[in-house]
Structure 1
Amino acid sequence: MIPIAPVSVLEKIRADGGRAFPVHAPLGSHGDAARLWNAFDRAGRGYAPDGKLDILVNNAGIGRSSALAELTEAEFDEVFAVNARAPFFLTQQALPRLRDGGRIIYISSGVARIAMPEIIAYNATKGALDNFTLNLAAQLGPRGITANSVRPGIVDTDVNAAWLRDNPAAQAHAALGRIGRPDDIADIVALLATPDARWITGQTIDATGGSHI
């Protein structure tokens, strides 16, 4: 399932011989999970007639947050609604649709273990995801469903371009000597989705390139 995908992503999947469709739903408001899954059920009939899926990757999130002294209740509510509440209820409503032996993967963040007080509420949402992962793994083990989270560090994406690129100080923390690329994270997620990762569950996988070790 691709909740929201740029046209280029869909085109690449199709060019590689796959099939894909976008599902659009706003996140962060009450009822968002039901709206997304209803859209999935309608759009997916031609792809999976039984309405089932094998892999759920929760990747959507927002990075806005402030230091404790400046953080407003509205800002706190927004970041938790999108980053924590939405994946919680998206997963809850995915369970009847997820086949036994399936995979659930969350995109957490290295800030769940690295102190960055300037984005304190965002950090807390990622810690919540990691704890949710642990509990899901225990609950869904009898169905053969694994649940894991991946903690990226700083990744060179367009979202980070303004402050990251051409900023040597921002690129100096990883033990491997560079900042992450999107494919560094995608390859770890892809591994967790395969049968080769069938014996990995309830884990938070550090994908920071050895940042702050």
Structure 2
Amino acid sequence: MTTSVAGPEADLSTTVPAPGRPAAAIDPGRVADLIAQLLVELGEDPTREGLIGTPERVAAWWSAFLSPDDAATATCFTESQLSDQLVIVGGMSVWSLCEHHMLPMNLQVTAGYVPDGEVVGLSKFGRIARHFAGRLQVQERFTRQVAEHLIGVIAREDVAVAVRGVHLCMSMRGVRMEEARTTTVHTGGRFGTDPVLSQQFLTVAAGQWGAP
């Protein structure tokens, strides 16, 4: 189940690029030329002091941002004594880009699962979040992609992911509401059927986010 709480705006494939992924390798030189053209169209002189080298820097950033590290193979550790323990990993903050306005959004991610005989290496959670954030995105899709990847890692549906986003497309344009936050929640397996487990996860997630 996926739940979204938002203001007014709020899989990896080998054959067809997933949403938000570049269809081909990025050509930094070509991107730099386009940025220089954009500066001219905006009434700027890309050869003036202060803008010299800017197109190349912007192109290098785009190339790096849209080429994040792979989510990598999960490292799992056997823990045969575990039983009905809730594991929650929070404090993960990643940057992504709204695909509707190409403006940044900061996503605070909290993920939880119920282990069964083994635990997932903690650094895996951060790598998954960074992987799916490094593209043109929408928060709702990002939340689902992180959850689905974790489901594949533990081979069960007992996964919950909550994401709280600050969207510059809402903060600095349009309604310009700087305090607006968007929350998306994906719950599966026992998180969808056990209200106590679900509430435990949501309480911890909300506590890690703190005040708006």
Normalised by the size of structure 2, how large is the TM-score? 0.30
RCO comparison, higher one (Cα < 8 Å, 6+): 2
Higher strand share: 2
Q: TM-score if structure 1 supplies the norm length?
A: 0.30
Bigger share in helix = 1
